[in-house]
Amino acid sequence: MSVPCITIDGPAGVGKGTVSQRLARLAGWHYLNSGALYRVLGIQAQRSSLDFNDDVALAALAEGLQIQFRLDDGGASVMLAGEDVSDELVTESTGTAASKVASVPTVRAALLHRQRHFLQSPGLVAEGRDMGSVVFPTAGLKIFLDASAEERARRRCKQLKDNGLSGSLRAVLLEIQDRDKRDRERSVSPLFPAEDAIIIDTTALTVDQVMDQILELCGERRLFTAI
């Protein structure tokens, strides 16, 4: 029997991380935060002063990326070659660097197999932009979360504050709109819902309400039942 997979895609700041981590914990499945791969690569590229247009050097960096994810009761942490980069990972400047390296076709090709490798028993919850459309096209449930850019900027500001960082609502909104445009208009794996994805507009919903809708779908499709 094939290993079950749920994909959660959507634009920046929509709450994919919160929902995906809760789902992975409830199901007892593995969790892939594909955005973190691009974010770590963005950090590494900046540290190495690489040109974001140098696709050969960026692909080589992506191939050799030493990244480890940890999901525990306290949350998720990300290690780059043994160093905890979780704090640096969540900044908007890292998000922008990630979005830039993610638009390079050779980088996406280099990271494809690494992402597919996460699909292991008993199951996988994978979040990102192209999880349902490209990386896991046969997933048993594909969710596309959406929300207005203003609401996503508000959520992102709150998340930054919770992490002890600051950001003005206006600056975050501009950054989100800029990133949306780049992610939606790039030539490879642009952000769009897979044909068979279920789109949930979360603008006026709480996290619990979003979770309820997804858990109902999981039950209907016999992926797992939350108790």
Binding mask 107-146 for ligand DC (x = CB under 6 A): ---------------------xxx----------------
List, in sequence order, every residue forming a beta bridge with 51; answer none if it has no partner.
Answer: none
Angle, helix 55-63 to helix 105-116, in steps of 10 degrees: 10
Q: Which of 15, 35, 123, 132 binds ligand DC (CB under 6 A)?
A: 35
Cis peptide before 122 (omega within 30 of 0): yes
- Between 29 and 183, name the residue whose CB sits nearer to ligand DC: 183
Interaction of residue 22 with ligand DC, rule CB under 6 A: no
Distance CA 108, CA 95 (A): 16
Q: How far is the CB of 50 from ligand DC (least distance, A)?
A: 16
Q: Is 34 in the site for ligand DC (CB under 6 A)?
A: yes
Q: Is 175 in the site for ligand DC (CB under 6 A)?
A: no
Rg (CA), the chain: 17
Question: Using the rule CB under 6 A, which residue among 5, 6, 8, 12 binds ligand DC?
Answer: 12
Taking the least distance from each CB to ligand DC, the nearer of 29 and 94 is 94
**Nearby residues of 133 by Cβ (< 8 Å), 6 or more positions away:** 9, 189, 192, 193, 194, 197
38 vs 118 by CB, closer to ligand DC? 38
179 makes contact with ligand DC (CB under 6 A): yes
Measured CA to CA, the distance from residue 181 to residue 184 in angstroms comes to: 5
Reading across the β-sheet that carries 198-201, which strands appear in turn?
A: 30-33, 124-128, 5-9, 141-146, 198-201
List the structure tokens of 45: 């590229």
Q: Does 44 bind ligand DC (CB under 6 A)?
A: no
Nearer residue to ligand DC within complex by CB, 105 or 122: 105
The residues that touch ligand DC, with contacts defined as CB under 6 A, are: 12, 34-35, 38-39, 95, 98-99, 102, 128-130, 179, 183
